Chains A and B, each alone.
Chain A
Amino acid sequence: MVGQLTWARRLLGLWLPLAALFVFALFPFAWMAATSLKANAELYDPKSNPLWIQHPSLVHYIGLIRESNFLVWIGNTMLVALVATLISLLFGVMLAYPLARMRFPASGLLALSVGVAYLVPQTLLFVPMADLINRMRLGDSLSAVMLTYPTLLVPFSAWLLIGYFKTVPKELEEAALIDGASRWRAMTRVILPLCTPGFLSAGIFAFTLSQNEFLYALLFLNTSSIRTVPVGVTGELIRGDAFYWGQLMAAAFLGSLPVVLIYSFFVKYYVAGLTAGSVKG
């Protein structure tokens, strides 16, 4: 009797809500995949089951790769995300290390400014930013987004790393200094290696944010061969006629795949970065 009761409670309190959450979170991806694998005849047949594939076909994937610059966009997106992430980590460390571990005038004010800078969205700055990029003659080049993405990512990385650096006891550094190491050596050989989880968190976060960025890419990348996936997909794959959904869903699915794969290797660090600001704060 008791066993049955807990089983029922388990079903209503855990398994049913979990199933609902799974359906809610994942059905758009299922629909994306199902659409991309059907030829137009089946796709636009009102009598066929929309979530079932009767005759799987790669026609939309082949068309996507042949007719558009999709693979180039994937390459561009990866390159930009990688460069922007590396810049953000480097500058993030340079900001966070002194702010977390050194005492000097104005350090409190600087830490606060970094926090405020993290909250400034690109929506606020895009008009003057476009002007700045044009005057630096960087318009319509990948450098434009490689330089502007870190404006969003550096403050975040610094904020996250300050938290990590603060968890390392000051005595470790002092011991290294007493042993005759310079501050630089103490930092690079003692403190930074201990903060690898922090770098992984900040890195995977910066990487996914770079993949997601749209506004600056939309403003700065006009030539098809230098576009990133989001701008390429919205700018070139949405065409006038109505029968483009197959290719569009193939692009959305293929375009999401690299981020999801990389994310799946670093989930632990991603979640740590996600919750660091709010749970510790």
Chain B
Amino acid sequence: MSVNPVLEAAGSAPQVLPARRPFRFREWLEREGVFSWLMLTPPLLFLLLFLGYPFCYGVYLSFVRRPVAQPATFVGLNNFVQLYNDPIFWQAVWNTFRFTAAATILKLGGGLAMALVMHQNFRLKGATRAVLLLPFIVPTVLSTVAWQWILDPGMGLFNRGLMYFGLMQQGPSWLGNPTLAMVSVILVNTWRGLPFFGITILAGLQTIPGELMESATIDGAGTWGRFRHVTLPLLTPVIFIVTVFSIIFTFFDFQLVYVLTGGGPANATHLMATYAYVISVTTGQLGLGSAAALAMVPVLGVVLMLMSSYVRRD
């Protein structure tokens, strides 16, 4: 039997194939799309389970009546109608807008001032920045408890100060009076959030080239002129984004009001978030509570639209 070396080589080829298979698998792995999706799938599944699913389930819940540990019954838009006819819900909406607007304006103004003061040369600048950021680092609940004690009507720091300087015989009940309670909530949120504005705007200020300031000075611009016509226009993008972020997080704030006033007195400081919590957890109406929480979405949507249109314009 004569053996053709070529045929023999061909015949042995299938024996080589199993050895080549892992090589091919690796090649497949090296493709950009395959590699990407292998990396992306686990975190995406996680986010779908713990973010996407709860969101969809929350939308479903808002259309049913579901007391805790009881089966759900479909009620259509009844939950939203019920909220529409609920004066406390409207008060919470109004409170949320007032709270967000006032706190954002104060944080923006204060933060801009803080950034301008910090944008000078002085010793220990880094340490100063670190220390001034502390209100933003310390867990909100813990600092809010301290504020509750500062605002205590009898022995709190504020009222003892007022009495010490003889400004008042008896200090006001900061958290007991509806207007003062709202002022207090806004004050504490401003205290916590102002450094975030200050430090971020400062970072924006540091990106403005010094030559621009010099040429503006040569052109005869004073301090105000330089601020108005050079600094402010260049800072607008940073200020816009910080403000949008802050609006979102202030609008959905929960812990500050929950700890400081619990929404009182007489619902004067209830925000949409704390009211949704009361409906679903305290009174156990999961469907109605979901509807109240979802009512915040349109606002988030409007803000996101503003943001994306801004990014697109850029």
- Given contacts A104-B36, A123-B293, A127-B293, whether A214 and B254 have CB atoms under 8 Å apart is yes
| A126 and B277 contacting across the interface, CB-CB below 8 Å | yes
Partner of A110, one of B40, B126, B294: B40
Q: In the complex, what residue of chain B is closest to A263 when comparing beta carbons?
A: B137
| A279 and B55 contacting across the interface, CB-CB below 8 Å | no
Interface residues on chain A, number (Cβ under 8 Å): 91
Does A119 sit at the interface, judged by CB under 8 A?
A: yes
| A127 and B58 contacting across the interface, CB-CB below 8 Å | yes
**A104-B37, A238-B145, A279-B200 known; 10 other A-B pairs, CB under 8 Å?**
A14-B120, A14-B122, A29-B134, A32-B146, A95-B40, A127-B286, A155-B47, A256-B139, A267-B129, A275-B204
- Counting chain B residues whose Cβ lies within 8 A of the other chain, the interface size class is 35 or more
Does A8 sit at the interface, judged by CB under 8 A?
A: no
Chain A: minimal CB distance from B185 (Å): 15
| A131 and B57 contacting across the interface, CB-CB below 8 Å | yes
Chain B: minimal CB distance from A175 (Å): 16
Chain A positions within 8 Å of B245 at CB level? 277-278
Does A169 sit at the interface, judged by CB under 8 A?
A: no
Does A41 sit at the interface, judged by CB under 8 A?
A: no
Binds A, one of B2-10, B87-95, B149-157: B149-157
* Cα distance A255–B207 in the bound complex, in angstroms: 36
| B131 and A25 contacting across the interface, CB-CB below 8 Å | yes
Within 8 A of B (CB), among A109-132: 110, 116-117, 119-129, 131-132
Does B143 sit at the interface, judged by CB under 8 A?
A: yes
| Contacts across chains A and B counted by CB atoms under 8 Å | 256
Binds A, one of B13-21, B25-33, B175-183, B209-217: B25-33
Chain A: minimal CB distance from B245 (Å): 7
Chain A: minimal CB distance from B259 (Å): 6
| A127 and B43 contacting across the interface, CB-CB below 8 Å | no
- 0/1 interface trace, chain B 121-151, chain A, CB 8 Å (1 if under): 0100010111111110111111101110110
Q: In the complex, what residue of chain B is closest to A121 when comparing beta carbons?
A: B252
Can you list 7 residue pairs at the A/B interface with Cβ under 8 Å? A46-B155, A128-B290, A215-B254, A230-B142, A259-B137, A275-B204, A279-B200
| B238 and A234 contacting across the interface, CB-CB below 8 Å | no
- Given contacts A35-B149, A44-B155, whether A150 and B46 have CB atoms under 8 Å apart is yes
* Cα distance A102–B36 in the bound complex, in angstroms: 7
Chain B positions within 8 Å of A122 at CB level? 254
Chain B: minimal CB distance from A53 (Å): 14
| B50 and A248 contacting across the interface, CB-CB below 8 Å | no
| A31 and B252 contacting across the interface, CB-CB below 8 Å | no
Across the A-B interface, the 10 shortest Cβ-Cβ residue pairs: A98-B36, A230-B141, A91-B43, A275-B203, A121-B252, A128-B57, A128-B54, A128-B58, A123-B273, A252-B142
Partner of B46, one of A18, A154, A212: A154
* Cα distance A204–B137 in the bound complex, in angstroms: 11
Partner of B203, one of A22, A26, A271: A271
| B29 and A183 contacting across the interface, CB-CB below 8 Å | yes
Chain B: minimal CB distance from A40 (Å): 11
